[in-house]
Amino acid sequence: MTLPTGFTEMLHSLLKEEAPLLIEALQQPPVTSVRLNSRKPGATFSDGIPVKWCANGFYLPKRPVFTLDPLLHAGAYYVQDASSMIHREVISRLVSHPITLLDLCAAPGGKTTAMIDGLPDGSRVVANEYMPKRAAILKENLTKWGYPLATVTNRDSSFFARSGDKFDIVAVDAPCSGEGMMRKDEDAVAQWSPQLIEQCATLQKEIVTNAEKTLKPGGYLIYSTCTFNRTENEEVAEYIHKSLGLIPVDMDFPGEWGIPRGIDTDLPVYRFMPHRTEGEGLFLAVFRKPAEETPTDTNLPDSPQAFPAKSDHKKDFAKKGANLALKSPNVKNARRKGDSKPNDADLPEIEEILSVDFDRSKYPEADIDLSTALSYLRREAIRLSPDIPKGPVVITYKGLPLGMAKNIGTRANNLYPKSWRILMR
């Protein structure tokens, strides 16, 4: 891979003697890692090596054909870069009781599901994505993950700033120049330019400004990018602190994790770089909005485990959060046209079936083998064991639901969503 000259020059200016190490690391194959779903136990990776900063994250020695593993489609695990798994750790340090969380730039859902992993049950999550096609992917991934109190929206960040809704935590994994993804994504190499960096920084400041307006007093803003330059990282962090008045929060990650601090800044921000940490490039910063009763307070919480103040999250979400979600075309429980026949309209939605809260006593289940599971995921008709009763059946693989079928005896009509079917053989 040939890196843009301007990019390598920027790295030399930024990292000095470390620059050749990062450039060399960017020429190496990316690592493969997965994060298990603690609410859907079942997947195991016996040859996996634990990720230091994620209790349920593992590096794999080689990349399997994930598409042909039904457990992936059941939501038992998520294929995610190890650096991004830090969001689970951040949430687990900030939260000790159910809260409301808004992920403003959520697609495809990796960081959203990581944060869900760190949330206590009962927390409400709104996962937003501006691009409709990406929002559809986000909805699929969140549905498979199975957390019942997550809603997908398809809005501009300014909508939330105007809505009056307030959240305990707002995450902004901002659109960026993608320098940290260059060894995984050829487009990131092809599209790089100084102009792109400036355009991204302008957009990032706009998004975090809107994020601050939808953040409760005492709540937290999590800002991240997957790029290396200071313009989109430390300089935006300085903007959040100085222009928006948010207080930086030191996550105080253990030294043995090897996560470097920011460059040329006193703010407690963090950089994941392939020559220092095993994973792709990531920048992370956490801020707290001053509480209303002490607007000039600049002290950090005594412990990140102690959230500033409990909120009546159920009442707040019922009054406002749920209402704004229902204005979106990509809301939870919206039926996809053509995903099932009209006379199947009384059957549960795929969101309900894959939810960890699904009442599995409602329908008989048929646990199928790998070959049949792949046929099911291709939306082909399948044959079930003769002892399976006729009618609606929940199809499972290794005990985890994949979806529904209508058993008619000689075969079972496949009710898996058409838009999710796999094409690989």
Q: Which two tokens stand for residue 162?
A: 């105007």
Peptide bond into 364 cis (omega under 30): no
- Check if the beta carbon of residue 171 is closer than 8 Å to that of residue 207: no
Q: CA angle, corner 333, sides to 330 and 337, nearest 5?
A: 70
Q: Which two tokens stand for residue 19?
A: 């620059």
Give every CB contact of residue 129 below 8 A, 6+ residues apart in sequence: 105, 106, 107, 135, 138, 152, 153, 154, 330
Give every CB contact of residue 25 below 8 A, 6+ residues apart in sequence: 183, 273, 274, 275
226 is known as an active-site residue: yes
Give every CB contact of residue 343 below 8 A, 6+ residues apart in sequence: none
Task: With H, G, I as helix, E, B as strand and everything else as coil, classify residue 235.
Answer: helix
* Chain CA centroid to CA 92, Å: 15
- Cα distance between residue 272 and residue 186, in whole Å: 20
The torsion angles phi and psi of 391, rounded to 5 degrees, stand at 110, -165
- Cα distance between residue 166 and residue 289, in whole Å: 12
The torsion angles phi and psi of 180, rounded to 5 degrees, stand at -70, -10
Rg (CA), the chain: 22
Beta bridge partners of 124: 100
Give every CB contact of residue 47 below 8 A, 6+ residues apart in sequence: 60, 61
- Check if the beta carbon of residue 415 is closer than 8 Å to that of residue 403: yes
Give every CB contact of residue 340 below 8 A, 6+ residues apart in sequence: 347, 415
The active-site residue, picked from 54, 105, 176, 226, is: 226
Q: Annotated catalytic sites, by residue?
A: 226
